[in-house]
Amino acid sequence: MLALLSPGQGSQKPGFLSPWLALPGADTRLRWWSALAGVDLLHLGTEAGADEIKDTARTQPLLVAAALLAAEHLPPAGVDLVAGHSVGELGAASIAGVLPAEAAIALAGVRGREMAAACALEPTGMSAVLGGDPDEVLAALERYALHPANRNGAGQIVAAGALDALAKLAAEPPAKARVITLQVAGAFHTPYMAPAETALGAIAGGATAHDPARILLSNLDGTAVTNGGEMVQRLVRQVTAPVRWDLCMRTLKDLGVTGVIELPPAGTLAGLVKRELKGDGAPEIVTLNTPDDLPAARDLIARHGGQQTQGAAR
């Protein structure tokens, strides 16, 4: 069984889209999507520096565009399962057939702008907590009124909330844990993003959704969603809900996924899968970062794809 994964914010690198512009139609496609997203995706993906593409309003549509652009060059019939991390879920939903590419790009533009605006309301942030006992880490977060925004497996929980509370967590970390401050604009996937959730919901309600054509996992609980309308509701809810990537990886294991391709900018999710799904039965992984990686990705699909089972959904 072949899984296609779409990464989220923080995976972007300056110039990572440049190699893709050599493919026929890529330039035109990005110009069209730029109009829908309200940002210059060509500039952001090729010329912009690290600080510019760190901006939430710019990064989110850029990442969705990158995933969709690369996915167009893979044989869809061989992809059994798709999943995305955070904003990557919009790309995953489109690849699964729930939303047209244009709708996913437009929603990513709205999501990015509204989350950036919500970040400006209060001084908040995020920190990665690496190691430690998970229950003790969660108890420490609760003690400081912080939220477990991402549970990424492999001993990694991302705390989010007020900056002063994050500072207290860093000063007194849980036993055997390290706290690393993340360079993000605010507390994503927490109640601090409620204004963004409301704004995205008002727009997303007008999108036409179809039921997924392949297994589509949800960050909310790691389950497969079979109804397109429900998936759109989950995409909106996910703005304030924790990303349970640990549960998504558990589902990959439970379904017996044997091949994994991470869409560009690839590396982050592949690393998490490699650390979590190791040993006997560990999936073969391809990180798709440039068109030069397409032959390896297509070969992986040919050898592992086309195994979707209809009973895999919730």
pLDDT tens, residue by residue, 111-164: 999 999 999 999 999 999 999 999 999 999 999 999 999 999 978 999 999 999
In the structure encoding, which two tokens stand for residue 124, read together? 């908040």
Give ∠ CA 266-8-22 in degrees, rounded to 5: 45
Nearest to 153 by CA among 268, 74, 262: 268
CA–CA gap between residue 236 and residue 196 (Å, rounded) = 9
Close Cβ partners of 230 (under 8 Å, ≥ 6 residues apart): none
pLDDT tens, residue by residue, 262-281: 999 999 999 999 999 988 88
Band (311; pLDDT cuts 50, 70, 90): very low
Band (183; pLDDT cuts 50, 70, 90): confident
Band (312; pLDDT cuts 50, 70, 90): very low
H-helix or E-strand containing 81? strand 81-84
Q: Are 108 and 67 in contact (CB under 8 A)?
A: no
Looking at residue 76, its pLDDT comes to 85
Band (310; pLDDT cuts 50, 70, 90): very low
Q: Are strands 2-6 and 81-84 parallel, antiparallel or unpaired?
A: parallel
Q: Are 13 and 287 in contact (CB under 8 A)?
A: no
The residues facing 111 across adjacent strands are none
Residue 313 has pLDDT above 50, yes or no: no
Band (314; pLDDT cuts 50, 70, 90): very low
pTM of the model: 0.94
Task: Return the percentage of the chain with pLDDT > 70, whole number.
Answer: 98
Band (308; pLDDT cuts 50, 70, 90): low
Give the distance, in angstroms, between the CA of residue 160 and the centroid of all CA atoms in the same chain: 17
Q: Are 311 and 301 in contact (CB under 8 A)?
A: no
Across 58-72, 270-284, 296-310, least confident range: 296-310
Q: Domains in the chain and their CATH numbers? A: 2-119+190-312 (3.40.366.10), 124-182 (3.30.70.250)
CA–CA gap between residue 131 and residue 139 (Å, rounded) = 14
CA distances from 121 to 86, 160, 184, 242, 282 (A): 21, 15, 14, 20, 44
CB burial string 138-156: b at 16+ within 10 A, e below: bebbeebebbbbbbbbbbb
35-57 average pLDDT score: 95
Q: Are 68 and 94 in contact (CB under 8 A)?
A: yes
Q: Are 30 and 85 in contact (CB under 8 A)?
A: no
CA distances from 205 to 94, 106, 209, 234 (A): 16, 13, 10, 12
Sheet of 177-182, strands arranged across: 147-153, 156-162, 124-131, 177-182
| Residues belonging to the active site | 86, 189
Band (95; pLDDT cuts 50, 70, 90): very high
Looking at residue 250, its pLDDT comes to 96
